[in-house]
Structure 1
Amino acid sequence: TKLWESKLEYCENLLSNLHKFFKAKSLETMIEAKEKQLAFLLKQAKIIIESKIQKAELELQKLQNAFFQHENFFKKSKNLISIKKNGKIANLEELKSEDIITLSSQTLQKEAKIL
C-alpha cells in the first residue's frame, strides 16, 4: 500500500502542477498580458507622437518668425531707394538705354544715365 500511496501522491502532485501550468497559461491570462502590453505600447506611441508634433510645431513657428522678419525687412526697405524718370517712379521694364533717371534715398539724390 505504501507503493500505491506514493504513486497516488506522485499523480496528485503531477495533476496539481499541470493545473498550475494550465492556469498560468490560460487564455484569459494570455489576453490580459497582451492587453497590458498593447496599452503600454499605445502609451509609448502617444508620447512619441506628441513629442514629434511639439517639435514640428516649434520648427514651424521658427520658420514663420523667419518669414515675417524677411517680410518686414522688405517692407521697410521698399522705399529706401526709388528710381524716378521725369519726376515719376519708374518701372524698370520701361527704362531704355540713354534714359536719364533720378536715384533717391532718404538722404541723397543722384541723376544717372542708363547705358
Structure 2
Amino acid sequence: MKKLLSIRIILFLAVAQASCEYNYEEETVDGGVNNCDIEVSYKDYIRPLINNNCMPCHNGDGSEPFAPDLRTFNGVKGIAELVKEVTLSRRMPKSGSLTNEQIASIGCWVDQGALNN
C-alpha cells in the first residue's frame, strides 16, 4: 500500500512539474532584454559584419572544410538560424571578435525573417 502511495505521489509531482508554465523574456548575450524593435538591415549591417569577420573562411574557395559559402545573400539566408546560433554561442567567428551588440543584431535580423533589406 505504501509503495502504491509513493508511486502516486511521484506521478502527481511529475505531472505537476511538467504542466508548469515558465514565462521569461528572451535575453541578449549581455544579460539585457532582447529589443528587436529596430529593423536590422542586411545590406547596411549584416553584410559588412560578414565581410569583415567571416570571409577568411567562408569565401567559397573550398580551402576551409565544412565552411558554408557566405558570399551571397542566399548563402547566408539558407543558414540564417545556424549563423545566429554559432555567433550567440561564440563558436564563430573563430577569432571571437564580435561584440555583444553585433551578436544581438544578428539574432534580431534572423528573428525578423532574415530579410534582404
TM-score, with structure 1 as normaliser: 0.28
From the two aligned structures, give the one with the greater helix fraction: 1
From the two aligned structures, give the one with the greater strand fraction: 1
Q: Which has the higher contact order (CA 8 A, sep 6+)?
A: 2
Task: Pick the structure with greater CA Rg.
Answer: 1
